[in-house]
Amino acid sequence: MTLAIIVHGGAKTITEDKVEANHAGCLAAVEAGWTVLRSGGSAGEAVEAAIRVLEADPTFNAGLGATLNTEGEVELDAAIMEGAKLGWGAVAAVQGVRHPISVARMIMDEKPRLLVAQSAKRFAADNGAEMCAKEDLIADEPFQEWKEEQQVVDRPNTVGCVALDANGILVAGTSTGGTTNQQPGRVGDTALVGAGLYADNQLGACSTTGDGESIIPVVLAKMAIDLLAGDTHPNEAAQKAIDTLASKVTGEAGCILLDRQGRVGWAYNSQDMAVGYMTAELDKPAVSTNKEGRKLEKAL
């Protein structure tokens, strides 16, 4: 069975001065997940490892570096899903948790599998997750943007990862800080199975990014997975899913896909989308901030 992993740092506009930071962050995330896969680890472990890297990098809107709500606070959403038994776990509007993707993975074997706010925080603390003061997740740049009421250009969206392990298990994960100046308690697509992520070993796995209020009504992740039917290449399925979203609603979005053969694909309708990936066929991970070539795609 082939191994494969792909990550994204969000569908957004990436200014020239942020290109290298996005490349470096996605590369580090891919390498973390690939190390897990190459050592015989599970796809779930790989997805968690990769997203933890992105959650710790203030370049991205997840964990440290997340956007602030109207109260000047960080609230985080995350989810993970595996494609063998369709298991999943999610948290939303949680505070004081360094790595919400890890808490989502802890919840996978629990019922209920979606916990929010104080219940999510209590579950995280009771199960040994890394906790912190909620203020510790406020990075300098998003704080200044919030304080000065700046228009945010390059920090609007979710991060995510999809991986295929040696046992043929597909797993997808997503994590986000939401949108700038969102209302406290607002939850977007990230924590919702079918919208922010989906995994089915019969077809593939997907993580999405973008405007949650646009992604949710078209059930973007599930739509992209369904479009893999008939041996459709993930690039084609991803593009069809984004085109369908754009034809039905207004909003920017992107998605990354792996099929059960380990083929990689992604698409978006924003200006840019930070992506990194590695497969058994590649010598080194590849990273990109613009698939159409407005910025150089390269192997590192």
Residue positions forming the annotated binding site for substrate? 186-189, 209-212
Backbone angles phi, psi at 154, to 5 degrees: -125, 25
E strand residue ranges, 95-200: 114-116, 159-164, 170-176, 197-200
CA diameter of the chain: 51
CA dist., res. 70 & res. 56, Å (int): 23
Q: Rounded to whole angstroms, what are the CA distances from 167 to 20, 37, 171, 180?
A: 34, 10, 12, 40
Q: Is 4 exposed, middle or buried (0-12, 13-18, 19+ CB in 10 A)?
A: buried
> Residue 68: helix, strand or coil by DSSP?
coil
The CA distances from residue 214 to 127, 191, 206, in Å, are 34, 14, 17
User: In angstroms, rounded to a whole number, what is the distance separating the alpha carbons of residues 70 and 67?
Assistant: 10
Starting at the edge strand found earlier in the chain, the sheet holding 197-200 runs 197-200, 204-210, 253-259, 264-268
- Establish whether 158 is a catalytic residue: yes
Main-chain dihedrals φ then ψ at residue 260, nearest 5 degrees: -70, -10
Q: Where are the alpha helices (DSSP H) in the chain?
A: 19-38, 43-55, 100-107, 117-126, 140-147, 212-218, 220-226, 234-248
Q: Which of 158, 180, 190, 289 is catalytic?
A: 158
Q: Catalytic residue positions?
A: 158
